[in-house]
């Protein structure tokens, strides 16, 4: 097992490098270099000073050397400084990260607490009225864009309930209850697409498991239906669900940008959007590299979890 | 799905698939929705009651009424007409992007799967890098750098999605190339290129079609999301996502502006999803979700 984990971690390294190369290369598609962008439309002053600045930022070196410098800094947690505010990109990300983590936890919480039981129930009562409703609503669920749902929630909330928690974000440390009140609905909206998908996955996975011989054996041994369902079926049908959940984290991360934007929450997504508007590519690339790296690590954890759950995987 | 139905009738694979598809009621509904979308986008100029860009300041922010079925926006532009033209944008971007993705993805998948070895390994590791990104973020970054426009949006989505087709095709090629008929073709001296084009390609088409249908629905979503964020279609072009984002400032005065573009997106995404479900069950019984 340890060996498997070790190999998985090693195999992650080329992906992390590849991700950084792609981000760096994209950054270099921007016309002009960092100094040009920093200067913006201002008439460039002293060419000598500009040369100095370029030298300081290693811009006089070949591209691959620049990449190596950039990578070295990134590994050490230095993603450069914002063009506009001059603040380190990393600290700006870390400042806003709690919002994203909280939204993700709420969304995934809903997915697991509602999605998996609902999927099981729907499978267990296949072809029932409930199953029909679940199947139709989940197809709808993953066809609804979350930014639309978010907009409608804000609209209905403000028009009919005079409920506008969103425009005043409260940090958890200041007012935990107020914070949860303003995060719970955005979290749910964020999770809805994934929730629908997980319900369907769980349903089909449970249906598959119910047909397995070992389930028949367990029943034949005289085990109660509850034991069969929760011990034999649930555990085995969760394996594919976990894989999908790992992939869905990527969808949720994308959804974060939209959810934050509509609910006006100060997360990393809005940091990126604002930076794009201001053409502050240091923040854009830094934040995207950061998120992509985190995503790779999450996938690694899911893979390892998967190996723990499924003894058929050899390592 | 047995091939012989007991009454001695032998069904060809395509007939079998058609039967499976017909049984799927939701699939039929989905296909009708898709056909409606395609017709609307082809004949936008005929169907739309007004020009999508014509401003009528007098009728600005008018609620849905007899004259403007779905109301007007702040410039007094007819929302129904804008939604109808928006279909064209949405379909254009997503079909264009998926076409690009299919061309490159299928080519890469065929070569990678057929030749295998080091080349395959390199290609797959490169694709892993694309899969390592949350897709919307990568799209965001690329469009931000390239600059927001319809063309860049289409290219970006196409680039992002080609990896999915490559993976699916490669997987199918790996199993097909071990079949006897490939060995047969090789033994009579067929060249690699003709084996790939005439023996393998036709057999990977069904997973590609299924994949394409589902990806069309997500491409519509990505286009709408990026336009919503101001990084896709630029005003005054009518795009569903852009209309949604423009509506937000007038939401309380004119809620219809926020509601209808969203319903259009849901209609389109739902149509392709339902059709995709049915196609998958019909073309690829192994993958069917019961």
Look at A145 and B269 and tell me if their CB atoms are within 8 Å.
yes
Cα B272 to chain centroid, rounded = 7
Rounded Cα distance between A227 and A214, Å, is 13
Reply yes or no on whether the pLDDT at A125 is more than 70.
Answer: yes
In terms of Cβ atoms closer than 10 Å to its own Cβ (0-12, 13-18, 19+), residue B92 is middle
Q: Which chain B residues have a beta carbon less than 8 Å from that of A18?
A: 125-126, 128-129, 132
Which of B25, B37, B144, B274 to mutate to test binding with chain A, by most A CBs within 10 Å of its CB? B144
Better pLDDT: B81 or A50: B81
Q: Which chain B residues have a beta carbon less than 8 Å from that of A277?
A: 230
Average pLDDT over residues A56-85: 80
Q: Which chain B residues have a beta carbon less than 8 Å from that of A255?
A: 136
Which of A135, A276, A280, A302 to mutate to test binding with chain B, by most B CBs within 10 Å of its CB? A276
In terms of Cβ atoms closer than 10 Å to its own Cβ (0-12, 13-18, 19+), residue B76 is middle
Q: How far is A159 from chain B (nearest CA, A)?
A: 7
- pLDDT class for A67, splitting at 50, 70, 90? confident
Q: Which chain A residues have a beta carbon less than 8 Å from that of B244?
A: 147-148, 151
Better pLDDT: B17 or A108: A108
Look at B134 and A254 and tell me if their CB atoms are within 8 Å.
yes
pLDDT of residue B36: 92
* HSE-CB for A183 with a 13 A CA cutoff: 25
Q: Nearest CA to B115 among B179, B185, B195, B60?
A: B195
pLDDT of residue B290: 38
| pLDDT by residue, tens only, chain B of 290 residues | 444 445 556 667 777 777 777 777 888 888 999 999 999 889 888 877 777 777 777 777 677 777 777 777 777 787 888 888 989 999 999 999 999 999 999 999 999 999 988 999 999 989 988 888 888 888 988 888 888 888 889 999 999 999 999 999 998 898 888 888 888 888 888 888 888 888 888 888 888 988 899 899 999 999 999 999 888 888 888 889 888 888 877 777 778 888 889 999 999 999 999 898 888 878 765 544 43
pLDDT of residue B94: 93
Look at B132 and A292 and tell me if their CB atoms are within 8 Å.
yes
Reply yes or no on whether the pLDDT at A8 is more than 50.
Answer: yes
What are the CA-CA distances from residue B145 to residues A20, A30, A78, A89, B138 (Å)? 16, 6, 22, 18, 11
DSSP state of A18: H
Of A139, A147, A299, the CB nearest to B244: A147
Average pLDDT over residues A31-56: 65
pLDDT of residue B2: 42
ipTM for this model: 0.83
Average pLDDT over residues A140-157: 86
| Whether A114 contacts chain B with CB within 8 A | no
Of B135, B258, B259, the CB nearest to A250: B135
- pLDDT class for A30, splitting at 50, 70, 90? confident
Look at B258 and A251 and tell me if their CB atoms are within 8 Å.
no
pLDDT of residue B1: 40
Exposure string for A180-211, b = 16+ CB within 10 A, e = fewer: eebbbbbbbbbbbbbbbbbbbbbbbbbbbbbe
Look at A148 and B262 and tell me if their CB atoms are within 8 Å.
yes
Residue count of chain B: 290
Cα A179 to chain centroid, rounded = 20
Of B125, B132, B258, the CB nearest to A295: B132
Enumerate residues 286 to 305 of chain A having a beta carbon within 8 A of any beta carbon in chain B: 288, 291-292, 295-296, 299
What are the CA-CA distances from residue B236 to residues B51, B153, B239 (Å)? 12, 16, 9
Helices (H), chain A: 2-27, 34-39, 47-56, 63-75, 89-110, 116-124, 129-141, 146-160, 176-210, 213-220, 225-227, 234-263, 268-277, 281-309
Average pLDDT over residues A233-253: 85
pLDDT of residue A40: 57
Better pLDDT: A163 or B5: A163
Please state which of the ranges A79-83, A136-140, B225-229 shows the lowest mean pLDDT: A79-83
What are the CA-CA distances from residue B7 to residues B2, B11, B282 (Å)? 12, 11, 21
Q: Is residue A83 within 8 Å of residue A38, measured between CB atoms?
A: yes
Look at A152 and B247 and tell me if their CB atoms are within 8 Å.
no
pLDDT of residue A46: 67
pLDDT of residue B133: 86
Residue B49: both structure tokens together: 């009651």
Q: Which chain A residues have a beta carbon less than 8 Å from that of B145?
A: 26-27, 29-30, 281
């Amino acid at each position: 097992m340890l060996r498997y984990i070790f190999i998985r971690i090693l195999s992650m390294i080329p992906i992390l490098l590849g991700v950084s190369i792609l981000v760096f290369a994209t950054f270099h598609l921007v016309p002009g270099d960092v100094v040009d962008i920093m200067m913006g439309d201002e008439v460039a002053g002293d060419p000598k000073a500009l040369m100095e600045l370029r030298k300081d930022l290693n811009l006089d070196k070949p591209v691959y050397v620049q990449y190596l410098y950039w990578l070295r800094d990134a590994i050490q947690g230095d993603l450069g400084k914002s063009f506009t505010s001059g603040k380190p990109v990393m600290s700006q990300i870390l400042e806003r990260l709690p919002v994203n983590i909280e939204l993700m936890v709420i969304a995934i919480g809903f997915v697991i607490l509602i999605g998996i039981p609902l999927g099981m129930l729907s499978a267990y009562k296949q072809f029932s009225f409930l199953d029909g409703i679940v199947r139709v609503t989940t197809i709808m669920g993953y066809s609804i864009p979350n930014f639309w749902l978010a907009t409608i929630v804000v609209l209905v909330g403000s028009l009919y309930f005079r409920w506008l928690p969103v425009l005043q974000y409260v940090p958890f440390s200041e007012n935990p209850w107020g914070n949860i009140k303003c995060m719970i609905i955005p979290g749910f909206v964020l999770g809805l697409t994934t929730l629908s998908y997980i319900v369907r996955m769980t349903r089909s996975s449970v249906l598959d498991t119910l047909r397995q011989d070992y389930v028949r054996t367990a029943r034949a041994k005289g085990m109660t239906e509850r034991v069969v369902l929760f011990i034999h079926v649930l555990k085995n049908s969760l394996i594919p669900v976990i894989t999908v959940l790992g992939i869905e984290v990527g969808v949720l991360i994308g959804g974060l940008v939209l959810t934050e934007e509509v609910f006006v929450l100060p997360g990393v997504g809005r940091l990126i959007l604002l930076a794009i508007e201001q053409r502050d590519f240091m923040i854009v690339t830094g934040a995207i590299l950061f998120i992509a790296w985190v995503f790779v690590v999450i996938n690694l954890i899911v893979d390892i979890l998967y190996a723990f759950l499924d003894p058929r995987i050899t390592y | 799905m047995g091939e012989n139905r007991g009454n001695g009738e032998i069904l060809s694979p395509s007939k079998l698939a058609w039967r499976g598809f017909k049984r799927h009621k939701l699939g039929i509904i989905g296909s009708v929705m898709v056909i409606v979308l395609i017709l609307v986008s082809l004949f936008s100029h005929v169907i739309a009651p007004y020009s999508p860009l014509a401003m009528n300041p007098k009728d600005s922010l008018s609620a849905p009424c007899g004259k403007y079925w779905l109301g007007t926006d702040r410039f007094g532009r007819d929302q129904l007409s804008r939604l109808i033209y928006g279909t064209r944008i949405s379909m254009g971007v997503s079909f264009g992007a998926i076409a690009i993705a299919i061309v490159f993805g299928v080519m890469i998948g065929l070569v990678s799967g057929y030749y295998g070895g080091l080349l395959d390994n390199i290609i797959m590791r490169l694709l892993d890098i694309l899969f390592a990104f949350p897709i919307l973020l990568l799209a965001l970054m690329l469009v931000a750098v390239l600059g927001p426009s319809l063309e860049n949006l289409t290219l970006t989505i196409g680039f992002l999605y080609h990896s999915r087709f490559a993976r699916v095709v490669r997987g199918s090629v790996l199993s097909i190339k071990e079949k006897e008929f490939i060995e047969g073709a090789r033994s009579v001296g067929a060249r690699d290129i003709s084996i790939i084009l005439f023996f393998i390609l036709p057999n990977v088409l069904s997973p590609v079609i299924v994949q394409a249908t589902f990806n069309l629905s997500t491409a519509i979503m990505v286009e709408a999301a990026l336009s919503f964020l101001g990084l896709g279609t630029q005003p005054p072009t009518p795009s569903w996502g852009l209309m949604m984002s423009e509506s937000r400032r007038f939401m309380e005065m004119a809620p219809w502006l926020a509601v209808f573009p969203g319903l259009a997106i849901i209609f389109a995404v739902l149509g392709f999803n339902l059709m995709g479900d049915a196609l998958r069950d019909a073309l690829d019984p192994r993958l069917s979700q019961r």
